[in-house]
Chains A and B, each alone.
Chain A
């Protein structure tokens, strides 16, 4: 299996605060990778180093390297917009733009080039199908996205991310604001998406990690304690802190 992300000795500081310490990790292509760990351990921070969303915080300093298909994304010559196009992100709270469903999905493709009407229609349909939302909204494409339910909005955000044709999808607790049925839908969707995309997801829900992920990484206080195939991590954890965490005697 080829490696998508190769993280080497990654360090991140928020000003004086050392938020990520010596992280080395490899993320295989076309797999679902769960990041677990107690609150404040640095999961979101790590996830946001993968598409350089941390760049927007002025106090952040990053050392070490993260290779995406072989090139270090923290190289000075790196085109950050191009990186974010390749590495899409879905947030914890659904954040559709206050525009129509169609405009939401078309937003990304229009940033990077000028697709024709017909091509755009196709991209929108394909992305909405990819996010299992097409059947629910195909007659309402020009209605406001804000009229959708929370679960539909989150799937719209997934469709919006898919529309720029990324290689990786980062999800930061993307189901935690949703009801169980919407959550299930998105979990099924993740299974579907991993055929084409590499998925890195943060979750607080251990069952979710066990259900949907192929690999699980346990973070604690800004360090990676253990990273292995999900089945192995949950059945025979090597580190006793991992065991304590997954058995709920921790954090």
Chain B
């Protein structure tokens, strides 16, 4: 009896240390997340207690002049800017990324694994300032020469973002394609399907939810990217008339203005409200991804 206890005791202690440690970590994480959400939300909501500002005007207003008299807080240009750049980026990157994934998994797995995958991973590791810099010094002049306009704007932003989200979309698509059961493909080939018939009719439809997951995660990443976009978008606070005209996004206006505002001022609160919109959109994206993932398990 005594012997047994002596053997068991250190074991129990180990259990408790592990349990307490993980609980503490979780507790810490939850507290951090909740306090961040609370902080952003309370700061962001405080704007709407200011005189002459209400949520509807904020979301639909076209004029952004926070330091003007009277100040105007219309965030629609930024909301439009954020959505158009990130969705356009996804429209460019999704076909490229999915094609690259098909190439890597179905057409030439050897070459894909050995050369393409490292390159894609490299893309993911390049800091965003480098993307912005390349965009500004190569892409913007090119667009200026080819299209009417200043070169900066939504087109430039979307193109830079599309390269930045390419790794996300490609990697998730490649994982999904590689994870597809071999027996489904065999079933298709055994009926006399060609490789592309199998890709179009079996592989892509079956992995569609997972492919979309990658695209939504890409949009989400594009939506939140600030630095690279800010460098090529021009940062004019209005809705542009073309894709090659200066405009802003939620992120770019925050990074540009936050240093110039005093905490608690209406301008500062308005920036927090923009951050709150960003954060809410992130929740929406996470929700969509969750939903898609549940569908892809069926």
Measured CB to CB, the residues of A under 8 A from B are: 51, 53, 56, 81-85, 88-89, 91, 93, 95-99, 107-108, 111-112, 146, 157, 160-161, 164
Determine which residue in A51, A84, A164 has the highest number of CB atoms from chain B within 10 A of its CB, and name it. A84
Within 8 A of A (CB), among B280-298: 298
Chain B residue at smallest Cβ distance from A92: B183
- In the complex, whether B186 has a CB less than 8 A from a CB of chain A is yes
Chain A residue at smallest Cβ distance from B109: A58
Cβ-defined contact, A111 with B191, below 8 A: yes
Instruction: Tally B residues with Cβ within 8 Å of A.
Output: 18
User: Which of chain B's residues have a CB closer than 8 A to the CB of A157?
Assistant: 187
> A97-B202, A107-B201, A111-B197 given as contacts; is B186 within 8 A of A84 (CB)?
no
Cβ-defined contact, B191 with A85, below 8 A: yes
B186's partner among A53, A98, A99 (CB-CB below 8 A) is A53
> A53-B186, A95-B183, A97-B184 given as contacts; is B202 within 8 A of A111 (CB)?
no
Q: Top 5 closest A-B pairs, CB basis? A: A85-B192, A95-B183, A89-B190, A84-B192, A108-B191
Cβ-defined contact, A81 with B194, below 8 A: yes
Cβ-defined contact, A161 with B186, below 8 A: no
Number of A-B contacts (CB under 8 A): 58
* Further contacts, 15 of them, CB under 8 A, given A53-B189, A160-B191: A56-B189, A85-B192, A88-B190, A88-B191, A89-B190, A95-B187, A107-B191, A108-B192, A111-B191, A111-B193, A111-B197, A111-B201, A112-B192, A146-B298, A161-B191
Cβ-defined contact, B191 with A91, below 8 A: no
B191's partner among A93, A96, A98, A164 (CB-CB below 8 A) is A164
A98's partner among B189, B193, B206 (CB-CB below 8 A) is B206
A21 to chain B, nearest CB (A): 25
Query: What's the Cα separation between A215 and B206 when bound, in Å?
Result: 40
Query: What's the Cα separation between A89 and B201 when bound, in Å?
Result: 19
29 A-B pairs with CB atoms under 8 Å apart are: A51-B190, A53-B186, A53-B189, A81-B192, A81-B194, A82-B192, A83-B192, A84-B192, A85-B192, A88-B190, A91-B183, A91-B186, A95-B184, A95-B186, A96-B187, A97-B184, A97-B187, A97-B188, A97-B206, A98-B184, A99-B205, A107-B191, A107-B201, A111-B191, A111-B193, A111-B201, A160-B187, A161-B190, A161-B191
Cβ-defined contact, B192 with A164, below 8 A: yes
User: Which of chain B's residues have a CB closer than 8 A to the CB of A84?
Assistant: 189-192
A197 to chain B, nearest CB (A): 15
Measured CB to CB, the residues of B under 8 A from A are: 181, 183-184, 186-194, 197, 201-202, 205-206, 298
A194 to chain B, nearest CB (A): 20
Query: What's the Cα separation between A84 and B192 when bound, in Å?
Result: 5
User: Which of chain B's residues have a CB closer than 8 A to the CB of A81?
Assistant: 192-194
Query: What's the Cα separation between A162 and B243 when bound, in Å?
Result: 54
User: Which of chain A's residues have a CB closer than 8 A to the CB of B298?
Assistant: 98, 146
User: Which of chain B's residues have a CB closer than 8 A to the CB of A146?
Assistant: 298
User: Which of chain B's residues have a CB closer than 8 A to the CB of A160?
Assistant: 187, 191
User: Which of chain B's residues have a CB closer than 8 A to the CB of A95?
Assistant: 181, 183-184, 186-187
